[in-house]
Amino acid sequence: MLRLRILLRSESLRYLAKTILTLLIDVAGIVAGTILTLSWGILSPIKWSIALYPAILTIRGVVNGIFCGRVSTGLHLGLIRPSLREITWEFKLLTGAIVVFALACSIFMVIQALSFSLLLWGVSIIEIPRMILVVLSTMFFSLIVISPITFTIAVTSYKVGLDPDMVTYPTMSTIADILVTLLYILVLYVSNLDRIIITSASIVFIVLSLILLLKYREEEEFTRTIGESLIALIVVSVVTGLTGTFLLDISLVCRNPLVISAYPALIDMSGDVGSIVGSIITTRLALGILTPSLHSIKSQWRSM
């Protein structure tokens, strides 16, 4: 019994050390806030862009969080190979599901934005087409940029002997927040000049998603991944609408954009902690170390 307790304590300390080291990168989340502050001249004239920012950041995080979790678990189970030269069928299904799910997220975000914009944000009907294009193109560009980086970090951590469950999402969430903020500001800026680029990107995104949906629609893993992910999306979409409204209210009350700069870092840290725990639990469930019961999770809680 004493040896077991010592073992649990040592394992808990190792997890704690790894978690702290991983979460240190969240300090870089202030970079996303700094970009937001420096770009305030682009955001402030477009009120809905301020309210939409939390939704873009959070829902994009949901998409990448699911991708991180599936890749990490797939690497542990051998369903995904740590090399782009050995693309497994499971990885193809996962990437296809993520693209389709990202489009579903964009549609949910548009519906949410339309509801909140007409009721609370005071957006003109003329601005609605622009809002839709900004959402679709930002999600599409972020998918192209962030997903390969996510896979690279997961594979690299796995190859060097680190646990991708604990490394991938916390690292990527900070990097993704910075990249998504840059892409969002860039898309907004381009939408002021010419909408051909963002319109073309939106069309490509929709067509690609439909092709993948038709190709893999009969694959159980593909449909299951999308179905399970939609549950998380429904819950998150309501919350992000409210946080967007709060952020808009804060920006109107407090004219100093430096206050807003802390927002990405705060949500980044809280999201990373939840993701680490969730990813570890799902991997242990898949490996059979845990059983789907509260008692089983509680028995190993200290080691997490």
- pLDDT tens for residues 56-97? 888 888 888 889 888 988 888 888 888 877 788 999 999 999
Q: Print the domain residue range for 209.
A: 2-303
Question: Around 231, how many Cα atoms within 13 Å sit in the side-chain half-sphere?
Answer: 5
Mean pLDDT, residues 213-239 taken together: 83
Domain count, the chain: 1
Q: What is the pLDDT of residue 52?
A: 84
Q: Are 276 and 167 in contact (CB under 8 A)?
A: no
Q: Are 135 and 106 in contact (CB under 8 A)?
A: yes
Ordered alpha helix ranges (H), the chain: 2-23, 29-38, 40-43, 47-77, 89-116, 128-159, 164-193, 196-216, 220-253, 263-287, 294-299
Among 95, 177, 166, 111, smallest CA distance to 142 is for: 177
Question: What mean pLDDT, rounded, does the chain reach?
Answer: 77
Residue 228, pLDDT above cutoff 50: yes
Q: What is the pLDDT of residue 86?
A: 78
Question: Helix, strand, or coil here: 227?
Answer: helix
Q: Are 27 and 265 in contact (CB under 8 A)?
A: yes
Residue 275, pLDDT above cutoff 70: no
Among 4, 76, 18, smallest CA distance to 300 is for: 4
Residue 65 neighbours by CB under 8 Å, 6+ apart: 169, 173, 271, 275
Three-state SS for 89-140 is: HHHHHHHHHHHHHHHHHHHHHHHHHHHHHHHHHCCCHHHHHHHHHHHHHHHH
CA distance 235 to 247: 19
Q: Are 261 and 34 in contact (CB under 8 A)?
A: yes
- Dihedral through CA 10, CA 14, CA 20, CA 21, nearest 10? 150
Residue 46, pLDDT above cutoff 70: yes
Residue 242, pLDDT above cutoff 70: no
pLDDT, tens digit, for every residue of 106-146? 998 888 878 777 666 667 788 888 989 999 999 999 999 99
At residue 241's C-alpha, the angle toward residues 238 and 242, to 5°, is: 95
Residue 19, pLDDT above cutoff 60: no
**Tokens at 42, concatenated:** 């682009």
CA distance 249 to 247: 5
Residue 132 neighbours by CB under 8 Å, 6+ apart: 110, 202
